[in-house]
Amino acid sequence: MVNEKYHGLGTAPSVIRELFAYGLQQAKVVGKENVFDYSLGNPSIPAPAKVNETIKKLIDTTDSIQLHGYSMAPGFENVRQAIADNLNARFNCNAKASELFMTCGCAPALVSVAHALTTSPEDEFIAIAPFFPEYNVFFTCAGAKLAVVPADTVHFQIDMDALEKTINEHSVAVVINSPNNPSGVVYTEETLKKIAELLEKKSKEYGHPIYIVADEPYRELVYDGVKVTFIPNVYDNTIVCYSWSKSLSLPGERIGYVYVPEKCADAKAVYDTVSGAAREIGSVCPPTLTQKVIGECVGEMPDLAAYEENRNLLYNSLTEYGYECAKPDGAFYLFVKAPNGDAVAYSEKAKLDHNLLVVPGDGFACPGYFRLSYCVSNDMIKRSLPAFKAMIESYK
């Protein structure tokens, strides 16, 4: 009597949620300080002070009906203009308010784009392993297929030959997530230019544009001055999905956007169709107060010192113990090779022997690796190091 597919989604076990629940349970048994939970990607640095200051200021200066009333379906014009101005200043592009469609976070942004670009059950979106597991849900439930390019496990950039072989006449878009969840790797400008070249060639070959859908919630989370290339600057047919969940530590406030640059193929039709899809999923008029906050705080940058300190401690320690790990330039993840190649077994043993909670890469379409979310306290990392050391030694 209910839709089987969605029932499956609603009842599917989640490795991450189960690890997290196990950690809460074990904390009661062995003490919170003896559980090392690297499972969740929930930001651990506070939002910039200006966020809460702005909320208070808006409350004091704005009529309740304006402050909490409906926004326009695509979001407030002045907020979108502020975002466009910020993009233009930082990425030397030519964004306009009319190219931005605001959403309740990145998830409905991706869903709206998936729905908008899917015209046939043969349509394929292409994901590069490792990737965020919800892509499977968003793109297949839009009625398309998700084709997977196996991970480049040498550098966690992109295996261009594998990508080229995956592209066919049904390809609609390649989904690019950089800085990457779960690898923490930033795709180099060289990698992105190669993709652009390949997609231009393939678009001509098949007679239709193959888009890049750039999923960019981690865009501002990079270390050591590494540059994150703004993908529309290297490939015209790029549609950006963004959220402030990580960059302003506002994951709970559900605010993001779809950016369809005018230079993109069929830009107006794509934008209009994204807005129609957002309507169909009941996700228009994103939160008013939060939109207004973004309008004033779009220029704020996160204080990444804590994440960087965590990354350095964890990366240096683990490689010193003998672990192999992708070079983590961004986001707040490390993607570590399981000592004997079985990450599920590693995760289970680490959990049972050390209350060390790590997520196997299988769900990210990259078995043999496990993900560490280092958006945790530096103290917890320090306390957890002996467990990592004991774990790798147990494999020797």
If one asks whether residue 175 binds its own copies (CB under 8 A), the answer comes out as no
**Of the candidates 79, 129, 137, 167, which one interacts with its own copies according to CB under 8 A?**
137
User: How many angstroms separate the CA atoms of 14 and 32, rounded?
Assistant: 22
Question: With contacts defined by CB under 8 A, how many residues of the chain interact with its own copies?
Answer: 79
The answer to whether residue 10 forms part of the interface with its own copies (CB under 8 A) is yes
From the list 56-64, 156-164, 225-233, 347-355, the region that binds its own copies by CB under 8 A is 56-64
Position among 25, 52, 88, 340 found at the interface with its own copies (CB under 8 A):
52
Task: Give the interface segment with its own copies, choosing from 278-286, 294-302, 306-314, 378-386 (CB under 8 A).
Answer: 278-286
Segment lying near its own copies (by CB under 8 A), choices 26-34, 49-57, 151-159, 382-390: 49-57
Token duo for residue 333: 């993840």
Asked if the bond preceding 386 is cis, omega within 30° of 0, the reply is no
Phi, psi of 230 (to 5 degrees): -80, 110
141 is a site residue for its own copies (CB under 8 A):
yes
Comparison of 209 and 330: residue with beta carbon closer to its own copies? 209
Q: What is the DSSP string of 191-209?
A: HHHHHHHHHHHHHHHHTS-
- Of residues 229 through 268, those in contact with its own copies by CB under 8 A are 249-254, 265-266
Binders of its own copies among 282-341, rule CB under 8 A?
282-290
Instruction: Supply the minimum distance, in Å, between the C-beta of residue 1 and its own copies.
Output: 5
- Tokens encoding 99: 């190219």
Binder of its own copies out of 35, 36, 38, 43 (CB under 8 A)? 43
- Residue 65 as a binder of its own copies (CB under 8 A): the answer is yes
Q: How far is the CB of 277 from its own copies (least distance, A)?
A: 4
Closest CA to 111 of 284, 238, 268, 236: 284
| Cα–Cα distance, 42 to 59 (Å, whole number) | 27
Interface pick for its own copies out of 185, 213, 270, 326 (rule CB under 8 A):
270
Residues numbered 91 to 130 that lie near its own copies (CB under 8 A) are 104-111, 115-119
Nearest of 130, 252, 143, 142 to residue 179 by alpha carbon: 130
Q: How far is the CB of 133 from its own copies (least distance, A)?
A: 11
Distances (CA, A) of 203 to 124, 170, 389: 14, 11, 49
Closest to 269 (Cα-Cα) out of 109, 143, 103, 116: 116
**CA angle 313-314-319, nearest 5°?**
105
- Please report whether residue 207 would count as binding its own copies according to CB under 8 A: no
Contact segment (CB under 8 A) with its own copies among 54-62, 325-333, 357-365, 378-386 equals 54-62
Which member of 130, 182, 184, 209 binds its own copies (CB under 8 A)?
209
Q: Are 357 and 39 in contact (CB under 8 A)?
A: yes
Cα–Cα distances (Å) from 306 to 41, 143, 219, 309, 394, in that order, read 15, 41, 17, 5, 31
- R_g of the chain computed on alpha carbons: 21
Segment 336 to 365, residues that bind its own copies, using CB under 8 A: none
Q: Tell the smallest beta-carbon distance from residue 297 to its own copies (Å).
A: 12
Residue 379 lies near its own copies (rule: CB under 8 A):
no
